[in-house]
Every structure is written in structure tokens, then in C-alpha cells.
Structure 1
């Protein structure tokens, strides 16, 4: 699979985060840094007007809403795979909702992102 072109738009993500309330901005910036630390070569850009991350396929994205933030692992199976560990978070097929006061635990977030990377790399091998 060919890497997506012109998919590195950190400036757009910076602008997205600037317009958020401080608590949401801090929570999402932490999520952003976790992704960028785990995947230094990740491509960061806006997709559907929200920050999105691509590494040999979509890893995930996030957004802020009035009463919560969401992490989108871009794969409905991912939420199901981590269902037990996500107890206490509102989820749907492709969404994990959290608040700045109750973020997704960093260890769990890392496992989810690592799973997405592994799935993307496995698709490349096929």
C-alpha cells in the first residue's frame, strides 16, 4: 500500500487544539504526544475536521465535543477487543468517549495504538 501523500499537517492539528477549552486541549495534546512517541513516523493531519493519524493505514483520530472527548481507533474490532479494559468508558463500534477528568489510561491507549499498528502491518504482508 502506498503511503498517503501530503498527509503531514501538524499545523492544522495545532490550530484544532488551540480552539478548545484548556482542559480538553491538555487531554488531547497528551493523547497526541502518546501517538507521536509510539510512532515517530506517523503522518498527522485533519480528516473529517478532526486530528487523524496514519501509519501504513489509519491508526486513529480524536475530537472534542461539548461534554466529552473521543478517540476513534478507525476500526470497529478494536473497541470490541479491549471491551473489558474499557469498562467505565462509553463506547460504540468505533469510538471511545472520555473526559479530561477521566482520560483513557496511558497504558491502555498504548496497547490500542500498538494493536492498530500491528493490524496495519499485517495487512501489508498479505
Structure 2
């Protein structure tokens, strides 16, 4: 897989818009992040470490912050939202049930904190 831009170009419009929205929020929180890869997936990379990847799976779009702790930091804020699934290191959703902006900002800040503190 190539860069985030390459990956987005392959998606249908609804998925592309949903995925691009998350990357846009991540870029606001981490303006120095660059396109790269994390565990073979297109990802934003901060200080050489994967920050966030967002990919379409068969039945959902997955947000992968490469950290169970970052997901745990926002679990409480997401449990009340319909259509959002949470697993150890993944947040799953559909374009018609987007992840709230505040939760995404918190998720990204949690991951940035981990990377910057390492």
C-alpha cells in the first residue's frame, strides 16, 4: 500500500470523506506529522513513529492509533455513541455514524503524548 493520498484515491466517496475527515483532524493536532506507514498500513507518522491509520475493512472503517492505551483514553466518550465499536487497539465505525470530533482530538492527543514521552 502507498501513501494516505494513494489509499484515499481508491475509496468510494462516502468512505473517502469519512477517512479524510479523521486525517484532517489528526493533522490539526499534529501539524508536523507526515504520510508514511505503520505496520504496513498508510499512516500519519510523528517523530518517526506511527500516529494513526484509518482504513476501510469489509464491514467497517477502522481507526488504528497503534496504542491500546490511546483507545482506552476515549472509550468512555465513545460508548454512548451508536454505531461505534471499540476493541483493544481499534475504533470501528460507519460513515453514517462518525466518531465525534472531540473524541478524535482526545485520541490523537493521547497518542501524541505517548510518542513525545517515549
Per the normalisation by structure 1, the TM-score is 0.80
**Alignment RMSD (CA, Å):** 1.6
Residue 84 of structure 1 aligns to a residue whose secondary structure is: helix
Extract structure 1 runs of 4+ deviating beyond 2 A: 46-51
Which residue in 2 is equivalent to 1:100?
Answer: 95
Aligned with residue 23 of structure 2, among 21, 28, 32: 32
Measure how far apart 1:12 and its partner are.
2.4
Which residue in 1 is equivalent to 2:58?
Answer: 66
Residues 55-105 of structure 1: per-residue CA shift (max 9 Å, x gap): 133222110122210100101112222221121421111100011011111
Distance in 1 between residues matched to 2:7 and 2:19, nearest whole Å: 10
Distance in 2 between residues matched to 1:38 and 1:80, nearest whole Å: 19
Q: In terms of mean alpha carbon deviation, does 97-106 or 55-64 score higher? A: 55-64
Structure 2, unmatched stretches of 5+, are: none
Q: Please say which structure displays the higher CA radius of gyration.
A: 1
Which residue in 2 is equivalent to 1:23?
Answer: 14
Residues 2-32 of structure 1: per-residue CA shift (max 9 Å, x gap): xxxxxxxxx7221211111110010001111
Which residue in 2 is equivalent to 1:8?
Answer: none
Asked whether the equivalents of residues 50 and 61 of structure 1 are also in contact (C-alpha less than 8 Å), the reply is yes
Distance in 2 between residues matched to 1:99 and 1:20, nearest whole Å: 14
Structure 1, unmatched stretches of 5+, are: 1-10
